[in-house]
Amino acid sequence: MRREEARKRAEELVSQMTLMEKASQLRYDSPAIPRLNIPAYNWWNESLHGVARAGVATIFPQAIGLAATFDESLLKDVGSVIALEGRAKYNASSELGDRDIYKGLTFWAPNVNIFRDPRWGRGHETYGEDPYLSSRLGVAYIQGLQGDGDTMKAAACAKHFAVHSGPEAIRHEFDACVSQKDLRETYLPAFQACVQEADVESVMGAYNRVNGEPCCGSPTLLREILRDEWGFQGHVVSDCWAIKDFHENHMVTGTPIQSAALAIDSGCDLNCGVTYLHLLQAYEEGLVTEEQITESAIRLFTTRFRLGLFEGSEYDTVPYTMIECKEHLELSERAARESIVLLKNNGILPLKQEKIQTIGVIGPNADSRASLIGNYHGTSSEYITMLEGIRRYVGEDTRILYSEGSHLFKDRIESIALENDRLSEARAVAKNSDVVILCLGLDETLEGEEGDTGNSYASGDKLDLLLPESQRRLMEAVAMEGKPTILCLLAGSDIDMSYAAEKFDAILTMWYPGSRGGSAAADILFGKYSPSGKLPITFYESLEELPDFEDYSMKGRTYRYMEHKAQYPFGYGLTYAEFEANSMRIEEQEESVTVYVDVKNLSEVDSEDVLQIYIRNQESEWETLNPHLAAFQRISLKGGEESTVKVLVDKGCFTVVDENGNRVRDGKKYEIFAGFSQPDERSVELTGKALVRMQYEICE
């Protein structure tokens, strides 16, 4: 049912409710209204990378890994699969009268916040540091999840609106002070695209304040920008228990009654929490009108009608057997392969199994399920860890030796043993192996949401860019044996790889690759597929070059504004092939610019890679410090193959944002770059290839 018809039906239904009934529907755990045949509905469900927290479902790579694919069509397919599995689970549970949390069709994903600081524990839930990449992948995911039929497959939610990326420890009281330029240039574009291009059904407010206004009660964000300026037609939901922060932490109101009134007056329709239990009292005190409560109820029932929850839809027959079916698992494994980023390779990769008799697999993430799944995850019926994936790939022809090597972060594995109780075993494994695969990194206990899963670092944020000391000691122990070593990093953020780059032969960033991640990793390690992922974030040399964590200015942050060389830059990633961009030409249309790039695979290896287009205004004082991503396209070339790739660049990419937050056309002369990395000096050092560049003057 399209939105216009759904709203009419919602208005008719809500008109039959009492004020108390209408107010009751503005809670995330909306109760049943039997006299109107309205069943209970719990709005809270999660799906960052698969249906989460409700039992078995296909687990895809965590969002940061999906971002590393630079693959819009893949994100759309992933969203579609999640919606179908959500329907299968909803159909089964609702048939049995189970309408509990995490069993509805309103998914609170994607997270399109900007990963502006590598310390932020929730950064791996996002699509990285670039507003353009985040917008393209967010739109694709939403389109896949919601579908394009008369009935929505599932409802997506763009979160957390807005200017939200840590610190986690103080998020309930923090005021993110941001300039109008940074707000419009960096923090809002992905949300705007989700609203205006993808017609996202829901937007979730953030915990923090922005320039003094709490996000879930911000007239500026929710009324002026989201609804009046962008024309948002869906519903707004608070982050969970965020509205009580108004009076308990932000101190902008004095009572829960006032907090409920501020939230609904600003445009927050649905309360994840309990503060809207005070709405009727706010009404009696004249702080809230019945019309406001009615409007929010209509918006929420419009969503339920669009999902076909009252009159049925074609999705009511999606069978339970759709969950973790062969096609979905294959898509998850493909996504994991595309997400893997090769940071270093001295020629050791791909491994040639016929030349190896013994492989040493070492590290706390070698046989760890937790390192596969990130956070906000579902449950898999089968987990293929790194160790298991390598073992399955090589079969009985190659001997596997294994050592955990160290605890993930503690100084010993056995509580009554001495410190470093597995280092000697790790050295023995390395000594007796032809090649070592060292699996290090983090998991959701070391980076994640504040208070989630009992984070070992309390807030969920990282203290620095280093691996835990236990793993640094393990690296040193393995390096002492001098064996060919490949480091596989399973983590969701920037980790200092300087020691590994110096001591080891290859480095692969695996992210949190999903339940079948070990199988995908083995395919890459042994050359069944060539790696093709790109970094959606910057790997910095140190935190010293960054502003304070609490500083939301973009100066010095991300590849667009950084002033130093990166350790590994945004957009960087090697393959087993050698792709080259030779030349390009440009054609201008009314709404876009078409860039034609001549590319060639100079090697004999078939591979995929990501062609990237960067631009920089040469005349405007408001342009970003460094060239910024304007388009990208994943391509595939056989060994020796040549091709001309056509890439569309929206003319909006040729605008700048001034100090007042206005997006304007300022100047006509641009430099355009095309290649398989960004055009920074460090990328050229690492790849040995400069990008094709040309001067371009845009027509008015």
Alpha carbons 120 and 128: distance in angstroms, whole number? 11
One-letter amino acid at 344 equals: K
Residue whose C-alpha is closest to residue 537's, from 494, 566, 491: 494
Structure tokens of 619? 């005349």
Q: What is the gyration radius of the CA atoms in the chain, in angstroms?
A: 25
- 311 is known as an active-site residue: no
**Contact at 8 Å (CB) between 635 and 613?**
no
Query: Roughly how many angstroms between the first and final C-alpha of the chain, as a whole number?
Result: 41
Alpha carbons 648 and 587: distance in angstroms, whole number? 10
Alpha carbons 336 and 533: distance in angstroms, whole number? 9
Residue whose C-alpha is closest to residue 236's, from 204, 207, 189: 204
Q: What is the DSSP string of 66-111?
A: HHHTT-HHHHHHHHHHHHHHHHHHHHHHHHTT---TT-SSBB---B
Q: Which residues pair with 485 in a beta bridge?
A: 436
- 447 is known as an active-site residue: yes
Cα 47 to its chain centre, rounded Å, is 11
> DSSP code of 8?
H
Task: Indicate the SS3 state at residue 630.
Answer: strand
Q: Which of 182, 199, 239, 496 is catalytic?
A: 239
> DSSP code of 171?
T
Q: What separation in angstroms does the CA of 256 have from each of 199, 287, 561, 687, 692?
A: 32, 12, 41, 57, 59
Q: Which of 404, 447, 450, 523 is catalytic?
A: 447
Alpha carbons 103 and 40: distance in angstroms, whole number? 12
Residue whose C-alpha is closest to residue 216's, from 277, 283, 266, 291: 266
Structure tokens of 57? 């479902």
The position carrying tokens 């122990």 is 477
Angle at CA of residue 139, ends 133 and 141, nearest 5°? 100
What DSSP element (H or E) covers 192?
A: helix 189-196
Q: List CB contacts of 635: < 8 A, sequence separation 6 or more.
A: 599, 608, 609, 610, 611, 643, 645
Structure tokens of 543? 């935190």
Catalytic residue IDs: 239, 447
